[in-house]
Structure 1
Amino acid sequence: MDFNASSDYYVCDLSSFHSYYSQLHGWISLLVCIFGSIANVLNILVLTRREMRSPTNIILTGLAIADLLVMIDYIPYVIHFYLYRRSRRDTFTYGWTIFVLFHSNFAQVCHTISICLTLILAVWRYVAVARPQQNREWCSYRRTILAILIAYVFCPVLCIPVYITTEMREQVEILDSNGMSIKGRNESFIGNTTNTTLYFVQLTEMAENHAILKQLNFWVYSVVIKLFPCVILTIVSLKLLQVLLEAKRRRHKLTNIQEQHTKKRKSYQRADKERQTDRTTIMLLVVLLLFLLTELPQGILGLFSVLLGQEFFLSCYLMLGDIIDMLTLVNSAINFILYCTMSRQFRKTFKKLFCKSWKIPRNIGKHICMENNGNTGTNHTVTQVTQV
Structure 2
Amino acid sequence: MADNVTYTYCNLTHFASTYKGLHGYLSVLVCIFGSVTNVFNICVLTTREMRWPTNLILTGLAVTDLLVMLEYIPFLSHYYLAPNAKQMQSHYSYSWALFMIFHVMFTQICHFISCCLTVILAIWRYIAISKAHNDALRRTVTSIPRTLLTIFLTYLLCPLICLPVFITHNIKIHNKSVRDDGQFISDKSLENTTDYQQVQVYTISIEGNFQSVTFFMYGVVIKLVPCILLTILSIKIIGVLMETKKRRRLLFINCGVPLVSVENDCGGAGGCAGSLTNTNLQQKRHIEKEHQTDRTTRMLLIVLLLFLITEFPQAILGLMIVIYDDPLFAKQCYYPLGDLMDFLALTNSAINFVLYCSMSRQFRSAFGEIFKLKVCEPCVRLPNNPPTEFNNGGTTQVTLV
Instruction: Provide closer, same or farther for how the CA distance between residues 219 and 27 of structure 1 changes in structure 2, counting only shifts above 3 A.
Output: same
Instruction: Provide closer, same or farther for how the CA distance between residues 377 and 313 of structure 1 changes in structure 2, counting only shifts above 3 A.
Output: closer
Choose 376-385 or 240-249, whichever is displaced more.
376-385
How many Å separate the matches in 2 of 1:278 and 1:140?
20
Amino acid at match of 1:310: P
Instruction: Provide closer, same or farther for how the CA distance between residues 190 and 246 of structure 1 changes in structure 2, counting only shifts above 3 A.
Output: same
Name the counterpart of 2:238: 241
Name the counterpart of 1:362: none
Instruction: Provide closer, same or farther for how the CA distance between residues 122 and 190 of structure 1 changes in structure 2, counting only shifts above 3 A.
Output: same
Instruction: Provide closer, same or farther for how the CA distance between residues 190 and 357 of structure 1 changes in structure 2, counting only shifts above 3 A.
Output: closer
Structure 2, unpaired ranges of 5+: 258-275, 388-395
Q: Tell me if the contact between 1:345 and 1:383 (Cα under 8 Å) persists in the aligned partners.
A: no
- Counterparts of residues 325-340 of structure 1 (less than 5 Å): 325-340=342-357
In the alignment, structure 1 residue 347 sits paired with structure 2 residue 347: no
Alpha-carbon distance, 1:188 to partner? 5.0
Given candidates 256, 259, 269, the residue that maps to 1:258 is 256
Choose 54-63 or 84-93, whichever is displaced more.
84-93
1:83 counterpart SS class: coil
Q: Tell me if the contact between 2:310 and 2:344 (Cα under 8 Å) persists in the aligned partners.
A: yes
Alpha-carbon distance, 1:216 to partner? 1.6
Alpha-carbon distance, 1:194 to partner? 1.5
How many Å separate the matches in 2 of 1:112 and 1:127?
23
Q: Give the aligned CA root-mean-square deviation in angstroms.
A: 2.2
Q: Tell me if the contact between 1:47 and 1:385 (Cα under 8 Å) persists in the aligned partners.
A: no
How many Å separate the matches in 2 of 1:341 and 1:358?
14
Amino acid at match of 2:125: R
In the alignment, structure 1 residue 121 sits paired with structure 2 residue 118: no
Instruction: Provide closer, same or farther for how the CA distance between residues 315 and 189 of structure 1 changes in structure 2, counting only shifts above 3 A.
Output: farther
In the alignment, structure 1 residue 155 sits paired with structure 2 residue 152: no
In the alignment, structure 1 residue 28 sits paired with structure 2 residue 26: yes
In the alignment, structure 1 residue 315 sits paired with structure 2 residue 312: no
Q: Tell me if the contact between 1:22 and 1:322 (Cα under 8 Å) persists in the aligned partners.
A: yes
Name the counterpart of 1:364: none
Instruction: Provide closer, same or farther for how the CA distance between residues 246 and 147 of structure 1 changes in structure 2, counting only shifts above 3 A.
Output: same
Q: Tell me if the contact between 2:8 and 2:332 (Cα under 8 Å) persists in the aligned partners.
A: no
Given candidates 50, 58, 61, the residue that maps to 2:59 is 61
Q: Residue deviations 1:33-88, cap 9 Å, x none?
A: 10111111100000000000110001111111111111111000000111134242
In the alignment, structure 1 residue 46 sits paired with structure 2 residue 44: yes
Name the counterpart of 1:386: 400
Name the counterpart of 1:112: 112
In the alignment, structure 1 residue 274 sits paired with structure 2 residue 290: yes
Instruction: Provide closer, same or farther for how the CA distance between residues 11 and 46 of structure 1 changes in structure 2, counting only shifts above 3 A.
Output: same
Instruction: Provide closer, same or farther for how the CA distance between residues 40 and 248 of structure 1 changes in structure 2, counting only shifts above 3 A.
Output: same
1:192 counterpart SS class: coil
Alpha-carbon distance, 1:181 to partner? 2.4
Q: Residue deviations 1:103-157, cap 9 Å, x none?
A: 1101100111011000000000000000121222211111111110111011000
- Counterparts of residues 186-265 of structure 1 (less than 5 Å): 186=189, 189-190=192-193, 192-203=195-206, 207-208=207-208, 211=209, 213-256=210-253, 257-258=255-256, 261-265=277-281
Name the counterpart of 1:180: 183
1:13 counterpart SS class: coil
How many Å separate the matches in 1 of 2:370 and 2:165?
41
Alpha-carbon distance, 1:196 to partner? 1.4
Q: Residue deviations 1:231-281, cap 9 Å, x none?
A: 111111111111111111122123322368111110110011001101111
Task: Tell me the matched-pair count.
Answer: 363
How many Å separate the matches in 1 of 2:384 and 2:117?
34
TM-score (norm 2): 0.85
Instruction: Provide closer, same or farther for how the CA distance between residues 357 and 26 of structure 1 changes in structure 2, counting only shifts above 3 A.
Output: closer
In the alignment, structure 1 residue 290 sits paired with structure 2 residue 293: no
In the alignment, structure 1 residue 141 sits paired with structure 2 residue 144: yes
How many Å separate the matches in 1 of 2:375 and 2:13?
55
Alpha-carbon distance, 1:307 to partner? 1.8
Instruction: Provide closer, same or farther for how the CA distance between residues 377 and 46 of structure 1 changes in structure 2, counting only shifts above 3 A.
Output: closer
Alpha-carbon distance, 1:178 to partner? 3.7
How many Å separate the matches in 2 of 1:379 and 1:276?
13
Instruction: Provide closer, same or farther for how the CA distance between residues 136 and 377 of structure 1 changes in structure 2, counting only shifts above 3 A.
Output: closer
Amino acid at match of 1:384: V
In the alignment, structure 1 residue 164 sits paired with structure 2 residue 167: yes
Structure 1, unpaired ranges of 5+: 360-368
How many Å separate the matches in 1 of 2:191 and 2:202?
28
Instruction: Provide closer, same or farther for how the CA distance between residues 249 and 221 of structure 1 changes in structure 2, counting only shifts above 3 A.
Output: same
Percent sequence identity is 44
Alpha-carbon distance, 1:358 to partner? 8.1
Instruction: Provide closer, same or farther for how the CA distance between residues 356 and 299 of structure 1 changes in structure 2, counting only shifts above 3 A.
Output: closer
2:80 counterpart SS class: helix
Instruction: Provide closer, same or farther for how the CA distance between residues 358 and 94 of structure 1 changes in structure 2, counting only shifts above 3 A.
Output: closer
Instruction: Provide closer, same or farther for how the CA distance between residues 380 and 238 of structure 1 changes in structure 2, counting only shifts above 3 A.
Output: closer
Amino acid at match of 1:154: L
How many Å separate the matches in 2 of 1:65 and 1:278?
26
Alpha-carbon distance, 1:379 to partner? 4.7
Given candidates 74, 77, 82, the residue that maps to 1:76 is 74
Q: Tell me if the contact between 2:386 and 2:398 (Cα under 8 Å) persists in the aligned partners.
A: no
Alpha-carbon distance, 1:176 to partner? 2.8
